[in-house]
Structure 1
Amino acid sequence: MKIIQEKWAEIHQQPVISFTMINDNGMEVTCINYGCIITKIVTPDKNGNYENVVLGFEHFPPYITNTPYFGAVIGRVAGRIQNACFELDGKTYTLCKNENNNHLHGGVKGLHRVLWNAVAVENEGEVGVRFSYTSPDGEEGYPGTVQVQVTYMLNNQNELVISYNARSDKSTLLNLTNHTYFNLSGNIKRDILDHELKIKSDQFLELNEELIPTGIFLDVTDTPFDLRKGKKLKDGIMANHPQIEVVGQGYDHPFLLNAHHDEEIVLWDPGSGRTLTVETDEVGVVVYTGNQLQEGMDIYGVPSRKYLGICLEVQGLPDAIHHPHFPSWILRPEEIYSSVTKYRFGVK
């Protein structure tokens, strides 16, 4: 196993460093210290062809705006916060409104648009990168100075393990995720409509017209959201269902997971034979099928379009601060935020 480290670009007179982890099977994961962005994941198909299975950009400049959040760590709070404000311990905090009237994915800057400290890590049987960043009190409107550490580790089981750890000196909100878009066809040969997705989930969250949870958990039974036995994505995306239509004809919904670290999310592309199994200790996953990907961006030589990638954003439930019956995002000074998600790549 090895890790290759090189200067890729520069921003604010600081180097943007690229790290490529390579395991003994030839699988590669490349990431950068700007936003902890995963730029490439190279895995074999059923015929042994190694190809990239994520969306990203060939060069650094598009990542500076990166409106689709390709590959980035999202925080301090992933998802939307209604009306871009919240109350915590009797005090009201106002955040920036960066999506209509709401706050999305940590704000204009967020954790996805900062340079992180990064060091290569080499252990027996695994290599990786440990990122760290201190988000100052008041950044993007959030209280507390938060020390965040994100670690990416690649092992010889073709698993990418992402670990999140954080502490705050004041009570604050924290809900982190990774926003990688997967396309298992390899080198973006096809869109994701023929991918099959299986999720161990009996309930999903109803969304309103602004894509904010209403607070109602809906039963997946007899709906396009019943993925318990697996479903071809296009069968759900093309369905005539109000919740499919409200997000632009597709999925952009939080699912409540029934199981953890037990093959609870499985994505499969029959054409390439590639599989992705996601296991996590997070309570939910937001499934986003790229319904709002703008056309015309150059993604490794392929023009962007709807349904070119799927995000599996494992995280706490969106807008939880406004829904007391959702699992809490609140991080107290005496607590440690900790979360682990494993992405295992295979073929069948």
Structure 2
Amino acid sequence: MNASPAQPAAAQHTLEKTYWGHVGGKAIWLYKLSLAGGLQLHVTNYGAIIQSLYVPRPDGTSVDVVLGYDTLHEYIDDPFYMGCVVGRVANRIDTGKVNIQGRTYQLAVTPGGFHHHGGHIGFGKKVWDAETFGTANTVGITLQYVSAHLEEGFPGNLTTQVTYTLHRDNRLTVEFMATTDQPTLVNLTQHSYFNLGGHAHGNIGGHLLQTHAPWYLPATARLMPTGEIASVRGTPFDFREERFIDEQIDSDYSQLRAAGGYDHFFVLEREHSKKLKAAASVIEPRSRLRMDVKTTEPGFHFYAGNFLDADFRGKHGARYHFRGGLCLETHHFPDAVNHGNFPSTVLMPGVEFGSLSEFLFREG
């Protein structure tokens, strides 16, 4: 593979673009963005995937805190949504049969009979257009994908943009925008697996987690929301005070047994205010690396990597074992179209969908 010369940029940041292969006759590139002395981000226009995120340490080294693969081929075969953008609709929709503004549509469904993470070929398996940018204090990339009417069963032509921006304070922002020409559903998220000890560090049960979620969504045995918005008080889902992830993950609690661990939506607000607010903080105790997450979304899905399988080799030959990474997927409530008490995921023509999430890295 041949790397193109670094693009003209101010001394404070660097941009590099490397050819990574072809998909469907379209070129795939790996973009490397960095701020001097700060974060370094590797992104590909296949699936708008975050392939690596290097966080600087006080001793002058850096640590890659997201799980991933070395090659495009591995991402094409990946079953775990590793680092990609999930859409049009993240998470699950029961039966996949939806009513939008009085019209019924059948979405693509799994063998289990529900729509999952955008369908058979969701946004994480699409080729996006990409454009990089840089200023004195930031460097970033905007990726765009146009989803055709009835792709995976969704009505309307949907134009989606995601912008990843690195900031001077070791903060990564993820901003979504989307527009449609027909009423449709939109619920986008970024699906990186984090391990603050390093991508090959191992089980994340020893990470400390604190959330700002007073409620969570109980789920059925098929991991479908029941419709109840339940208090976390007195349950293993109460992380309002910092504690280890593995403290109760394997406890004899029906919700955890059904999901094989944490794989649930945590509710920050019952109604969508669109305000940027604290969502969660994660600390890796040995390194004291801390990640603080804020979002304009009404909640986030906390997934503890319960389905990771060491048969899949990750970057540099690493084995990503059971619970080797965690996801904090900021988005709207799952299956919202089937629950009138959940914030709506319907997007109308003439209205712009917008979402902002921040991931701040610092010493804990």
Q: What is the TM-score normalised by the length of structure 2?
A: 0.92
**Matched-pair contact (CA < 8 Å) for 1:37–1:70:** yes
Question: Cα gap change, 1:99/1:182 in structure 2, threshold over 3 Å: closer, same or farther?
Answer: farther
Q: Quick one: distance in 2 between partners of 1:306 and 1:88? A: 38
Hey, what does 2:299 align to over in structure 1? 284
Amino acid at match of 1:311: C
Over residues 24-53 of structure 1, what are the superposed CA-to-partner deviations in whole Å (9 max), with x where a residue is unaligned? 224211010011000001113464431211
Could you tell me which amino acid in structure 2 is paired with residue 251 of structure 1? Y
Question: Where does 1:173-188 land on structure 2 (aligned, <5 Å)?
Answer: 173-188=185-200
Which residue of 2 is the match for residue 191 of structure 1?
203
User: What does 1:10-29 correspond to in 2, within 5 Å?
Assistant: 10-29=22-41
Letter in 1 for 2:192: T
The answer as to 2:69 corresponding to 1:54 is no
Q: 1:151 and 1:100 mapped to 2: Cα distance?
A: 33
Paired letter, 2:318: V
Q: Deviations over 1:216-240 (max 9, x none)?
A: 1111111110000112011131222
Partner of 1:257: 268
1:223 corresponds, among 223, 231, 235, to 235
> CA separation in 1, counterparts of 2:57 and 2:251?
30
Pick which of 252-261 and 22-31 moved more.
Answer: 252-261
Which amino acid in the other structure matches residue 224 of structure 1?
Answer: P
Query: Paired residue for 2:135?
Result: 123
Q: Deviations over 1:256-310 (max 9, x none)?
A: 1159534331011001111111110000100000111123100122222211000
Q: Which moved more, 1:163-172 or 1:302-311?
A: 302-311
Q: Which position in structure 2 is the counterpart of 1:86?
A: 98
Aligned to 2:4: none
Residue 297 of structure 1 corresponds to: 312
Corresponding residue of 2:154: 142
Contact 2:93–2:114 under 8 Å retained in 1: yes
CA distance in 2, matches of 1:26, 1:255: 30
For the 8 Å contact 2:250–2:257, the answer to whether it is kept is: no
Residue 339 in structure 1 maps to residue 352 in structure 2: no
Q: CA deviation at 1:88?
A: 1.3
**Which residue does the alignment assign to 1:31?**
43
- Which AA in structure 2 matches 1:161? T
Compared with structure 1, are the counterparts of its residues 112 and 331 closer, same or farther at alpha carbon in structure 2 (3 Å cutoff)?
Answer: same
Give percent identity, aligned residues only. 33
Give ranges in structure 2 of 5+ residues lacking alignment: 1-12
Whether the 8 Å CA contact 1:46–1:273 is kept in 2: the answer is: no
Cα pair 2:37 2:56 within 8 Å, conserved: no
Q: Please tell me whether the aligned partners of residues 46 and 274 of structure 1 are also in contact (alpha carbons under 8 angstroms).
A: no
Q: 1:95-110 maps to which residues of 2 (within 5 A)?
A: 95-98=107-110, 100-110=112-122
Q: Secondary structure at the match of 1:193?
A: helix
Measure the CA separation in 1 of the matches of 2:137 and 2:233.
42
Distance across 1 between alignment mates of 2:153 and 2:93: 12
Structure 1 range deviating more: 228-237 or 175-184: 228-237
Pair 1:99–1:275, CA change in 2 (3 A): farther
When residues 126 and 95 of structure 1 are mapped into structure 2, their CA distance, relative to the original with a 3 A threshold, is same
In 1, the alpha carbon distance for the partners of 2:338 and 2:279 equals 27
Q: Tell me the number of residue pairs that the alignment of Structure 1 and Structure 2 aligns.
A: 347
- Counterparts of 2:278 and 2:338 in 1: how far apart (Å)? 30
Distance 1:195 1:87 in 2: 41
Aligned positions of 1:237-248 closer than 5 A: 237-248=249-260
Which residue, out of 264, 272, 283, partners 2:287? 272
CA–CA distance in structure 1, aligned partners of residues 243 and 75 of structure 2: 32
- TM-score, scaled relative to structure 1: 0.97
Counterpart CA distance in 2 for 1:187 and 1:294 is 14
Q: Is the 8 A contact 2:128 2:145 kept in 1?
A: yes
Query: How many angstroms apart in 1 are the aligned matches of 2:60 and 2:54?
Result: 11
Cα distance per residue 1:60-104 (max 9 Å; x no partner): 101113210000000000000101111112221111112511110
Following the alignment from structure 1 to structure 2, what is the Cα–Cα distance between the partners of residues 163 and 3? 20
Asked whether the equivalents of residues 276 and 356 of structure 2 are also in contact (C-alpha less than 8 Å), the reply is no
1:169 matched residue in structure 2: 181
Using a 3 Å threshold, how does the CA distance of structure 1 residues 140 and 187 change in structure 2: closer, same or farther? closer
SS of the aligned residue for 1:198 comes to strand
